[in-house]
A and B are shown apart, each in its own frame.
Chain A
Amino acid sequence: MMVTRPLHTLPKLCSQSPQNGSSGSKVLVHFVNQSGMKSSVFVTEGESLLDAVIKKNLDISGFGACEGTLACSTCHLIFEESVYDKLEQTVDEEIDMLDLAYGLTKTSRLGCQVTVNCWMDGMTVCVPQEIKDQRGKQEAQSSK
C-alpha cells in the first residue's frame, strides 16, 4: 500500500488508528534490506512477513526462494530483541533452516514463519547486511 524509501517522515501509526480505516487490521512494519535501505509498509494483520514483502514488492533480493515452504533460509530476518522475545515459539524445522542462514543472530527468524500481529506495530526487521559486498566496494575504491 505505501512504499516510501528512504523513509523518515512517515508518522508512526498504531493499529488503533489506521489511516485507511480498515477495521484496525493494518500494522506498520519497517523493513531494512541488504544494502541498508528502509521501506515502511502497512501489513494486514495475519499475513506473514514473507507475504508482506512479496505483496508490497519490496526490494529485497532473493527473498523467499522456496515460497514459504521451510526449504530454504532466504527470508531470514533479524528482529529487535524486545519483539523477538514475544514471538511465538520456533519449530525444529525452522531452526534447521536458520542454522544454514547467512549472518545468523540470536534474534533471527524466518519471515515466512512470523505472522504479523497488531502488537508488532512500528517494529523494524532487518535483512542481514551484505558484508562481503561492502568489502568489495572498498577494494574497488582503493584500487582506483
Chain B
Amino acid sequence: MDIVGVLVLLLVCVFTAADGWRGLSSASSPRVCVVGGGPAGFYTAQQLLKARQDALVDIYERLPVPFGLVRFGVAPDHPEVKNVINTFTQTAHHERCSFHGNVNVGRDVSVEELRQAYHAVVLSNGAEANRPMGIPGENLSGVFAAKDFVGWYNGIPANKELCPDLSCETAVILGQGNVALDVARILLSPLDMLKATDITQHALNALAGSGVRRVLIVGRRGPLQIACTIKELRELGNLPNTRPELLLGDLEGIEETLKDLPRPRKRLTELLLKAVNGGDNKAEKSWSFRFCRSPVEVLAGADGKRAAGIRLALNKLEGSGENVRAVPTDQLEDVNCGLIISSIGYKSILIDPAVPFDPRRSVVPNDMGRVQDAPGLYCSGWVKRGPTGVIATTMNDSFDTAHVILQDMESGLLDLSIKKPGAQAISGLLQTRGVRTVLFSEWEKINAEEERRGKPHGKPREKLLDVEEMLQIAWSSRIMDILTFLVLLLVCVFTAADGVRTVLFSEWEKINAEEERRGKPHGKPREKLLDVEEMLQIGWS
C-alpha cells in the first residue's frame, strides 16, 4: 500500500511540475506552429528552436506518421537520403518541440484558429496533388499519376489499393525529372536490389511478377533540358541486365554545345552521350529517353477500358538553353504500351480557403516566406517555391523562412507581448471535435512495430498501410498505461478505505512454522492451514 501511495504521489508531482513548467514558459515564449511534418516543417522547426532559446514549436501533421516525402517520396533504394530522419527525430525530441499527428489542418482545425493560438503559423504542407496531363484517355485503366505509383511502392495509405497491372512489356513515363527516373529504376531493378529496402511488400510481390522489359521516359523538350539530376541518371545507367536504348539522332550536334554549358548541365549531358554509345547488348531490359514529345491522347485497347498505347505530338524547340520552349507540330507518333505513368510534376493544394493561394502556380504567394497580406502567416518548402529541388534545397529554403520569422520577432512585426495559448487551446478544440492526436512517442510505437515486421524479411521496416491500424498501435499501450494507472489508483483507494491489512513475508513465516509444527506428530512435512481467518490470526499474532 505504501509503495502504491508513493507511486501515486510521484505521478501527481510529475504532472504538477510539468504543468508548472508549461505555465511558466507560456508567459513570454514565442509560440510557433508548423503545418506539415515533412522536411520543410522539420527544418523550419529546427532552425527556430536553435536560434531562439525561448521558442515553443508545435508541428501538426495530417497522418499519424511523420517525415512526409522522406518517408513517402524518397525511393526505397535511396536509404542514405532517409538519414535526415535522425535529425528530424532529434528535433521532435527537443523539449520545446511537440509533434501532433493525425490532425488535418483545414478540416479538424482552421488556419485562422491556429493564427489565434500562435504568434506565427508556418505552412509547410508540401505539394500533394498531381498535375493532370489534361488529355483524352487519361482516366483509362493502366494510366497512373507518378505520385500515386510512388505512393503505392512507398506505402502511402491512400494508394495501397492501386494494384497496377505490370503484365505489359513496355511502360511509358511522361516527364524526365527525378521522380520519373525513380519510377523507371524501380520498374527495371532486379528484385534483389529492392527486397532489402523498405519498399512495400505488395509492390515487391507485384514487381516479382512484372513483365515490364522496356521503359521509355518521354520529355517535351530536348536532351539539354532534362530535369533529372546526375545521380539518378548515373544509377539508371548502372542497372544490371539493362541497357540504354537512346536514339543517336536525338543527341546529334550536342557535343559541340558542351563547352558552353555550366558544369552540372555539361556533366549530365556527357553522361547521356556516354549512355548512347555504351550498354550491354545481351541485357534483357532497356530504358530510353524520348525527347521533344508531348502526350496528346491515351489510346484505349479493344475493350475500350484499358490503355494500350499513347499518341505523342512531336515538338520543335524555340529559344535556347534552359528557357527553351516546346512547340507541338502536327506530326504524331503512336507508341504501344500497357502502362503509362505521368510524372509531370506535383502541385500544392489549398488546405484552407482563408489562405492566400496562387492557383496558376499552385503555391502560396509569398515574399521570402512571408505570406502575402497575412501577417503572422509564413510558408516554407514546396508550398512556398513549387515542387522542385532536392532535400538540401528544401533545407535552405526552410532555414530562410525561419530566419525571416526570427527577424520579424526581433523587429516587433510579430507582437510577442501578446500571450498566446499555443497547443493548449488547439488541443482543447480538437478534443471537442473528437480528434485525437498522435504524439511523437506514439509514432515511435508505430515505428517499432514496422521495424519488427520488417525484420523477418531482412527489410529495415515493413510500413503499415492502414491509418486505422497505425492509430490502434499508436494508442494501444497508452490505453494500457491508463488502465494500469487506474488499477493502481483503485487498489490504493480501496486499501485505504477498507482498512485492508497485508501479510508480510515474515508473517507468512510464522504460518509456515505453525504448519510444520502441526505436521510433525503425524510424520508429515507440514499440515496445511485451511482457514484464511486462522492464517491471519497466526500471521499477525
Question: Within the complex, what minimum Cβ distance (angstroms) separates A111 from chain B?
Answer: 13
Interface residue B536 (Cβ < 8 Å from any Cβ of A): no
Which residues B293-314 have CB closer than 8 A to chain A? none
* A96/B407 in contact, CB under 8 A: no
Query: From A67, which residue of chain B is reached at the shortest CB distance?
Result: B83
Residue contacts A-B, CB under 8 angstroms, 29 given: A61-B46, A61-B50, A62-B392, A62-B396, A65-B83, A65-B392, A66-B80, A66-B84, A70-B80, A71-B231, A72-B390, A72-B392, A73-B390, A73-B392, A93-B234, A96-B229, A96-B234, A97-B231, A99-B230, A100-B393, A102-B392, A102-B393, A102-B396, A130-B400, A132-B368, A136-B400, A136-B407, A139-B368, A140-B408
* A100/B81 in contact, CB under 8 A: no
Chain B residues whose CB sits within 8 angstroms of the CB of A27 once the complex forms: none
A95 to B230, CA, bound (A): 9
Question: Within the complex, what minimum Cβ distance (angstroms) separates B369 from chain A?
Answer: 9
Chain A residues whose CB sits within 8 angstroms of the CB of B46 once the complex forms: 61-62
Known: A95-B267, A100-B392. 12 other contacts (CB 8 A): A61-B46, A61-B399, A62-B396, A65-B84, A65-B392, A69-B80, A71-B83, A74-B392, A104-B263, A132-B400, A136-B400, A140-B407
Query: From B396, which residue of chain A is reached at the shortest CB distance?
Result: A102
* A74/B403 in contact, CB under 8 A: no
A67 to B408, CA, bound (A): 32
List residues of A whose CB falls within 8 A of some B CB: 61-62, 65-67, 69-74, 92-93, 95-97, 99-102, 104, 130, 132-133, 136-137, 139-140, 144
Question: Within the complex, what minimum Cβ distance (angstroms) separates B226 from chain A?
Answer: 14
Which one of B81, B263, B408 lies within 8 Å of A72 (CB-CB)? Answer: B81
- Asked whether A136 and B403 contact (CB < 8 A) given A65-B84, A65-B392, A74-B395, the answer is yes
A144 to B412, CA, bound (A): 10
Interface residue B411 (Cβ < 8 Å from any Cβ of A): yes
* Interface residue SS majority, chain A: loop
* Interface residue SS majority, chain B: helix
Which one of B47, B230, B368, B392 lies within 8 Å of A101 (CB-CB)? Answer: B392
* B86/A67 in contact, CB under 8 A: yes
Chain B residues whose CB sits within 8 angstroms of the CB of A102 once the complex forms: 392-393, 396
Query: From B87, which residue of chain A is reached at the shortest CB distance?
Result: A65
Interface residue B60 (Cβ < 8 Å from any Cβ of A): no
Query: From B84, which residue of chain A is reached at the shortest CB distance?
Result: A65
Interface residue B264 (Cβ < 8 Å from any Cβ of A): yes
Query: From A141, which residue of chain B is reached at the shortest CB distance?
Result: B411
Question: Within the complex, what minimum Cβ distance (angstroms) separates B172 from chain A?
Answer: 27
Contact with A along B42-74 (1 / 0, CB 8 A): 010011001000000000000000000000000
Chain A residues whose CB sits within 8 angstroms of the CB of B411 once the complex forms: 140, 144
Chain B residues whose CB sits within 8 angstroms of the CB of A132 once the complex forms: 368, 400
* B392/A133 in contact, CB under 8 A: no
List residues of B whose CB falls within 8 A of some A CB: 43, 46-47, 50, 78, 80-81, 83-84, 86-87, 229-231, 234, 263-264, 267, 368, 390-393, 395-396, 399-400, 403-404, 407-408, 411
A101 to B392, CA, bound (A): 8
Query: From A76, which residue of chain B is reached at the shortest CB distance?
Result: B392
Question: Within the complex, what minimum Cβ distance (angstroms) separates A54 from chain B?
Answer: 11
A96 to B390, CA, bound (A): 12
Chain B residues whose CB sits within 8 angstroms of the CB of A95 once the complex forms: 267
A137 to B400, CA, bound (A): 11
Q: Which of B43, B234, B399, B408 is the most central at the interface, judged by chain A CB atoms within 10 Å of its CB?
A: B399
- Asked whether A92 and B391 contact (CB < 8 A) given A99-B264, A140-B411, the answer is no
A95 to B270, CA, bound (A): 13
- Asked whether A99 and B81 contact (CB < 8 A) given A67-B86, A92-B234, A133-B403, the answer is no
Chain A residues whose CB sits within 8 angstroms of the CB of B408 once the complex forms: 140
Query: From A103, which residue of chain B is reached at the shortest CB distance?
Result: B396
* A71/B81 in contact, CB under 8 A: yes
* A69/B83 in contact, CB under 8 A: yes
A93 to B234, CA, bound (A): 9
Question: Within the complex, what minimum Cβ distance (angstroms) separates A71 from chain B?
Answer: 4
* B392/A93 in contact, CB under 8 A: no
* B407/A100 in contact, CB under 8 A: no
- Asked whether A62 and B83 contact (CB < 8 A) given A96-B231, A99-B264, A136-B400, the answer is no
Pairs A-B, 6 closest by C-beta atoms: A69-B80, A99-B264, A71-B80, A67-B83, A96-B230, A71-B81
- Asked whether A100 and B80 contact (CB < 8 A) given A95-B267, A133-B403, A140-B411, the answer is no
Chain A residues whose CB sits within 8 angstroms of the CB of B229 once the complex forms: 96, 99-100
Which one of A62, A70, A140 lies within 8 Å of B399 (CB-CB)? Answer: A62
* B84/A133 in contact, CB under 8 A: no
A73 to B396, CA, bound (A): 11
Chain B residues whose CB sits within 8 angstroms of the CB of A67 once the complex forms: 80, 83, 86
Chain A residues whose CB sits within 8 angstroms of the CB of B78 once the complex forms: 71
Question: Within the complex, what minimum Cβ distance (angstroms) separates A119 from chain B?
Answer: 28
Question: Within the complex, what minimum Cβ distance (angstroms) separates A126 from chain B?
Answer: 16
Question: Within the complex, what minimum Cβ distance (angstroms) separates B232 from chain A?
Answer: 9
